[in-house]
């Protein structure tokens, strides 16, 4: 192909990218991620955790009053096809967030294509991991998410492409000491919205429990770095009324809520064996 022809093709491609990208200085992009707008107004948000493919359970959770649904795909056998069916059946009022198995382009592309407005990145122990996740979750010019196909348009409307970058949220989970050591750098990444202190894994990786001085020092460092960077701080729902600074909470799983409801209906205590403010250890709560 002649150089002039190639230059023309490049010019056409650049113009199409500019036309598709959200316009700075023009009309504001539509805000359909109610979790993001609620956090921006200074209010806390709570998400119920779903790790089953049962659409009825998902819809019950989505309409129960949670702000978002934490779709658990790191520690569950859920497939993206199953998650897509649940989101399509009940896209709200709770906003779908997905904890992806890893911050790969394939995982994030599928999660965003099926309509998730939040990408929860597990096991953050490298800055590059979060940088890559941001790149895969954001359309050009901020990232290199491929437009492709998906049900996002059917769920969030025809203006999705223009507004997606402003509505997509990135949640970085700090789960081990390596993550704690770089938490200041993670929190200061421009497009990170939430830094999440993973209570169970911090204990699992260190052998420490909530209340131990070394454990609390890690949690305090995560809190201080996140708030200093002006980002939202996440943690388990048990910390909602007992620790300051937190605004983004992971609530119980659907199985846990069924168990709590059954205990209450039988006249028993909703929680057993845990003092107030102590988060259950993930994996042990269903034993």
Q: Output the CA–CA distances (angstroms, integers) from residue 239 to 197, 223, 235, 248, in the order listed.
A: 11, 12, 7, 10
pLDDT tens digit sequence for 128-148: 999 999 999 999 999 999 998
Output 21 or 196, whichever has higher pLDDT. Answer: 196
Q: How confident is the model at residue 8 (pLDDT cuts 50, 70, 90)?
A: very low
Domains of the chain: 30-169+246-265 (3.20.20.60)
Q: Which two tokens stand for residue 108?
A: 């994030």
Q: Would you state the pLDDT for residue 273?
A: 56
pTM, rounded to two decimals: 0.84
Q: Compute the mean pLDDT over every residue in the chain, rounded to the nearest whole number.
A: 88
Average pLDDT (175-200) is 98
- pLDDT for 159-179, tens place per residue? 999 999 999 999 999 999 999
In whole angstroms, what separates CA 18 from the centre of its chain?
A: 28
All residues at 6 or more sequence positions from 108 whose CB lies less than 8 Å from its CB, including other chains: 100, 119, 133, 136, 137, 145
Radius of gyration of the chain (CA): 20
Percent of residues, the chain, with pLDDT higher than 90: 75
Nearest to 124 by CA among 13, 225, 9, 54: 225
pLDDT confidence band for 203 (50 / 70 / 90): very high
| Separation in Å, CA 215 to CA 176, 200, 231 | 11, 11, 22
> How confident is the model at residue 271, as a pLDDT?
57
- The 8-class DSSP code of residue 143 comes to S
Summarised one tens digit per residue, pLDDT across range 29-55 is 689 999 999 999 999 999 999 999 999
What pLDDT, in 10s, does the model give residues 61-71? 999 999 999 99
Tokens linked to 283: 């994996």
Closest-CA residue to 108 (of 68, 141, 149, 137): 137
Q: How far apart are the first and last CA of the chain?
A: 66
**Torsion 138-142-146-151 (CA) sign:** positive
């Amino acid at each position: 192909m002649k150089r002039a022809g190639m230059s023309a093709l490049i010019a056409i491609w650049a113009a199409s990218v500019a036309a598709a990208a959200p316009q700075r200085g023009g009309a504001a992009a539509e805000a359909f991620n109610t979790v993001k707008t609620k956090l921006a107004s200074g209010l806390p948000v709570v998400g119920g955790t779903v790790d089953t493919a049962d659409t009825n359970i998902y819809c019950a959770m989505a309409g129960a009053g949670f702000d978002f649904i934490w779709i658990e795909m790191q520690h569950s056998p859920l497939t993206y096809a199953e998650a897509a069916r649940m989101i399509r059946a009940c896209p709200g009022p709770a906003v779908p967030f997905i904890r992806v198995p890893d911050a790969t382009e394939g995982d994030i592309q599928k999660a965003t294509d099926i309509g998730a407005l939040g990408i929860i990145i597990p096991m953050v122990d490298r800055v590059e991991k979060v940088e890559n996740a941001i790149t895969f979750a954001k359309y050009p010019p901020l990232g290199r998410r491929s437009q492709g196909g998906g049900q996002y348009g059917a769920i969030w409307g025809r203006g999705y492409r223009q507004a997606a970058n402003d509505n997509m949220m990135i949640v970085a989970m700090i789960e081990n000491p390596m993550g704690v050591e770089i938490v200041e750098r993670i929190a200061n990444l421009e497009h990170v919205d939430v830094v999440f202190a993973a209570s169970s894994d911090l204990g699992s990786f260190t052998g420490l429990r909530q209340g131990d001085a070394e454990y609390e020092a890690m949690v305090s460092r995560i809190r201080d770095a996140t708030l200093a960077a002006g980002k939202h701080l996440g943690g388990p729902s048990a910390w909602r009324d007992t620790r300051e600074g937190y605004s983004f909470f992971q609530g119980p799983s659907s199985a846990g809520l069924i168990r709590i409801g059954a205990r209450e209906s039988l006249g028993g205590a909703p929680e057993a064996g845990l003092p107030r403010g102590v988060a259950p250890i993930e994996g042990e709560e269903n034993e």
